[in-house]
Amino acid sequence: DTEVTQTPKHLVMGMTNKKSLKCEQHMGHRAMYWYKQKAKKPPELMFVYSYEKLSINESVPSRFSPECPNSSLLNLHLHALQPEDSALYLCASSQVDTSKPYEQYFGPGTRLTVT
């Protein structure tokens, strides 16, 4: 199984709502990532988890709160978002190795619209 699944596929939320994005993989990968991608732009790294611990936060606003409950799951909790946060949110996973980077496997993304 080389699949990363993300739910929901689409999400529309108001600026006062609280919602969560979910990501799951069963490849035994111990690194998981969140990216944000605006239309016609490259993915931008947001967070990296390594062995269920947050290792990289790319200065993301606190209205985005990541969580890694176990080695297979990654959540992104959303609260008080702004319309400019509307984007495709991508989850990825990879093996961890200190000697070389491993390929990332990406999910299909969650298309988020903030109204």
Our finding on whether 27 is near another protein (CB under 8 A) is: no
Our finding on whether 30 is near another protein (CB under 8 A) is: no
Distances (CA, A) of 49 to 9, 26, 66, 71, 79: 22, 16, 9, 9, 20
Distances (CA, A) of 88 to 9, 48, 53, 96: 9, 17, 24, 25
Instruction: Give the x-and-dash track for 49-68 against another protein (CB under 8 A).
Output: -------x------------
Number of residues that bind another protein (CB under 8 A): 23
Our finding on whether 11 is near another protein (CB under 8 A) is: no
Distances (CA, A) of 59 to 29, 36, 89, 95: 24, 13, 16, 24
Please, which residue, 42 or 69, has the CB nearer to another protein? 42
Among 44, 67, 72, 79, binds another protein (CB under 8 A): 44
Q: What is the DSSP letter of 113?
A: E
Distance in Å, CB of 21 to another protein, minimum: 13
102 contacts 28 by C-beta, under 8 angstroms: no
In the complex, which residues of this chain contact another protein (CB under 8 A)?
A: 4, 33, 41-45, 48, 56, 88, 90-92, 100-101, 103-109, 111
